[in-house]
Amino acid sequence: MIRNFWDIKKNTLIEEIAGLEEKVDAKTWQAIDSLRHVGNIGAYMGKDVNLIIDVDPEEAGQLIWLIETLFEEWYIDRHEKDLKMQKIIQVAQEKTLQKKSTNGAK
């Protein structure tokens, strides 16, 4: 999503998330970076393979909520806004044509 929506393409995920910091509000960036930290716990377990840090269902739900919220804000809301803006532009174009045809009929 960072690459696609924000066109941030770096060598590592941490660099891409850092590049996002100035583009989104502080809480959103902090939540995304926090999600990265939680993911790193599972991805880089360290030397002690017997150490398991559980993520309970409520925590997992919060992480999923963040991803769903970003999809909605970054893609769905933008698309709906674009559609509404295009409808307004279309109304203006139609009214301009109506005005021209009315003026031409006189």
Note the pLDDT tens digit of each residue in 32-90: 999 998 888 777 777 677 777 888 899 999 999 999 999 999 999 999 999 999 999 99
How many structural domains compose the chain?
Answer: 1
Residue 106 lies in a domain: no
Residue 31 lies in a domain: yes
Residue 69 lies in a domain: yes
Residue 33 lies in a domain: yes
Q: Are 70 and 2 in contact (CB under 8 A)?
A: no
Residue 9 lies in a domain: yes
| Domain that residue 8 falls in | 2-81
Residue 71 lies in a domain: yes
Q: What is the spatial distance between Cα 61 and Cα 29, in angstroms, rounded to a whole number? A: 18
Q: Nearest Cα to 15, choosing from 3, 31, 25, 26?
A: 3
